[in-house]
Amino acid sequence: MRRTLTRLVAIAAAGALALGAGAGTASAGSAEMPTPVALYGGLTSLGCQQVDASLLPLCGDFEVLTSDDPAMLTINPFTTDIVILGAGLFPDGGIRPVLEERLRTGYRLAQEYPTARIIVTGGVPQNGRTEARAMGDWLRGAGISPLRITEEGNSNSTVQNAQFTDRIFRDRGTTGAVVVTTGDHVKRAVLNFRQAVGGRIPITGVVARG
């Protein structure tokens, strides 16, 4: 199995241009080209897109997920969505530090790629405020246009984050997604999103940093 996965990751290089086919170049987003680690991650995400669902956990073992800007977002900042995952709010509806880390990283990506759309996902309301609403309010308060932000406020788990967000992907023709969450959560989150999309689009992750 590992040999098969290694071959898939290697041959994914031949399809790397598919990340941005017909959708612009790096000049539309960040001025910098992807780092070697980001390029490796992009090729791995393409390889993992091709494997059987039963091999997805193993495929994720080949990845090196970091805080680097992902290649698919650099190459195609138009129909690649930035997805920021929620975390439990304080009882008064305030944002906990772990969620602020995710928001700061999502905000950085949103600033660097001003054409990219943003999805904030998370329910579990506190004081009448869902995680998604709290995240949306934070981003709007930081200056991100409300037109770029979609709130998914019904999910109660990472699996539901992925399933409910995939409905948004399908409705608007998303071609790839970058999942932003903290380091102890990102590998599982990327796996859940890959399972939700069923190989239809590539998924990668970015590790949130404070």
Within 10 angstroms of residue 129's Cβ, the number of other Cβ atoms is 16
pTM for the model: 0.86
What is the structure's pLDDT at 39? Answer: 79
- Specify the DSSP element, H or E, that contains 205: strand 203-207
Judged against a pLDDT cut of 90, whether residue 99 lies above it is answered with yes
Helix (H, G, I), strand (E, B) or coil at 204: strand
pLDDT, mean of residues 175-186: 95
Instruction: Give me the pLDDT at residue 103, please.
Output: 98
**Counted domains in the chain:** 1
Q: Quote the domain boundaries for residue 160.
A: 2-207
**Token pair recorded at residue 25:** 């170049």
Confidence at residue 51, expressed as pLDDT on a 0 to 100 scale: 86
Backbone φ and ψ for 61, nearest 5 degrees, come out as: -70, -20
Above pLDDT 70, what percent of the chain? 84
pLDDT digits (tens, 9 = 90+) for 143-158: 999 999 999 999 999 9
- CA–CA gap between residue 122 and residue 61 (Å, rounded): 26
The CATH code of the domain that includes 147 is: 3.40.50.620
Where does residue 62 rank: exposed (0-12), middle (13-18), buried (19+ CB within 10 A)?
Answer: middle
- Confidence (pLDDT) at 163: 98
Question: What's the rounded Cα separation, in Å, for the pair 79 and 148?
Answer: 12
